[in-house]
A = this chain, B = another copy of it.
Amino acid sequence: MTGGPRLAGREFFATRTVGEALAGFRPARRTAVEEVPLAEALHRVPGAAVPAPGPLPGFARSTVDGYAVRAADTYGASEGLPSYLDLLGAVRMGAAPEVAVRPGGAVAMPTGGVLPEGADAVVMVEHTAETMPGTIEVTRPVAPGSGVVRADEDVAVGAPLVPGGRPLRAPDLGMLAAGGVTRVAVHARPRVVVLSTGDEVVPPETAALGPGQVRDATASALAGLVRDAGGEPVLAGIVSDEPGALEARLREVLPDADLVVVSAGSSVGARDETAGAVAALGDIWCHGLAIKPGKPTLLAECAGVPLIGLPGNPLSALVVFRLVGVPLVWRLAGCEAPPPEPSTRARLARDLPSAAGRLDVVQVAVRDGRAEPIFGPSALLSVLTRADGCIVVPEPATGLDAGTEVEVTLYR
């Protein structure tokens, strides 16, 4: 990563655009590669392409029900003037052919059967007739290779069954199974340690709240986003606003973390405490993102471990983590381009003000192709749970007019 200024006293830090943060904050850390069974490899990221141990399908294979033939024997065949071929036998599924195809001969083939020696094509049963026992009529010519896949047509030996650096999808698991690869070397799930702070914050299981107390909503929601990004969330509890408490806890969790996320208290004092603790342990790359909501965001690296200090409001924290944290979790697992998110186009139901030079993330409900912005203080989590998705108003824009077509990132 490129260097950033260090904290000294209460200096001001670089405020960055989200684009700068995504392009510039790129810690080099990657998780180690481990072997997992195929059944657990879905959406995991192989460290490298997995080469095929052998060709696939492994033998010249019929793709139709019909007859294995020499293509030349069918040239000129038509409904009016069929080719007559001797029926020499039949191929059984999952078995070696017991007979070869000689000129003027044909062997009955099931879809998926092994092409017998001497044959170079399979004519579909629909273009044949067995009018006399022991003889078939072919009513259409076939070209060599027709009705057949070559022994290495799916994958050649040594060619990649699946690529490295991209999360494995369902069909990839099928391809690995076809190649006999039942254990896969994939990046370990990044361990994302979530630290909540704030004297007012209590655990979700707190039945009766004291005056001014709130249950920790952000940590559970962040855990969900981390899981969606292929990471392993580690909820490391709530740290008080007492001076030194956060720094001490950070020293404890850093050695076992691939990423630390500090869900900061929402007051100015709590935010200053986060910056101070982080500055004592590493380099702050930016303090302040040009985004609404989410301005008081801190990006840093401490002893090789990236750290994100999130704003105190749950809504702001989740908006920032989606935008900046999720791609980082993927990258820690070796995936440079996160999988695409669902989206849809819709027309803005009303005018949307925005300040130039700032990225605005607006929650919207989508109905019948219209995107209705959901306004409300970012202290309200319900703004987010009522939304179907969000739209991003880019930095240069000074607002969008009602009726504008916008791209809505949909939540799932």
Which A residues fall within an 8 A CB radius of B? Answer: 38-39, 42, 54, 56-59, 61, 63, 65, 91-96, 110-114, 149, 153-155, 161-162, 167-182, 198-202, 204-207, 209-225, 227-228, 235, 241, 265-270, 312, 314, 318, 339-344, 377-382, 384-385, 410-412
Contacts and interface: CB of A to CB of B under 8 A. Distances in A.
Contact of A340 (B96, B205, B227, B412): B412
A171 B93 contact: no
27 contacts: A39-B235, A42-B223, A42-B227, A57-B379, A65-B268, A93-B270, A94-B199, A94-B200, A94-B201, A110-B266, A110-B267, A110-B268, A111-B312, A113-B267, A153-B380, A154-B381, A168-B224, A169-B224, A170-B224, A171-B318, A173-B221, A174-B314, A178-B204, A178-B214, A180-B204, A180-B205, A340-B344
A262 to B, nearest CB: 16
A318 B211 contact: no
A281 B342 CA distance: 40
Nearest to A233: B39
Contact of A217 (B177, B225, B269, B384): B177
B178 A215 contact: yes
Nearest to A338: B412
Contacts of A169: 224, 385, 411-412
A291 B117 CA distance: 34
A204 B180 CA distance: 5
Given A94-B212, A217-B177, A318 B111 contact: no
Contacts of A380: 149, 153-154
B177 A220 contact: yes
Nearest to A172: B385
Nearest to A200: B94
A225 to B, nearest CB: 5
A200 B112 contact: yes
In terms of DSSP, what is the predominant structure of the interface of chain A?
loop
Contact of A178 (B172, B217, B344): B217
Contacts of A223: 39, 42, 170, 173
B340 A204 contact: no
A130 to B, nearest CB: 14
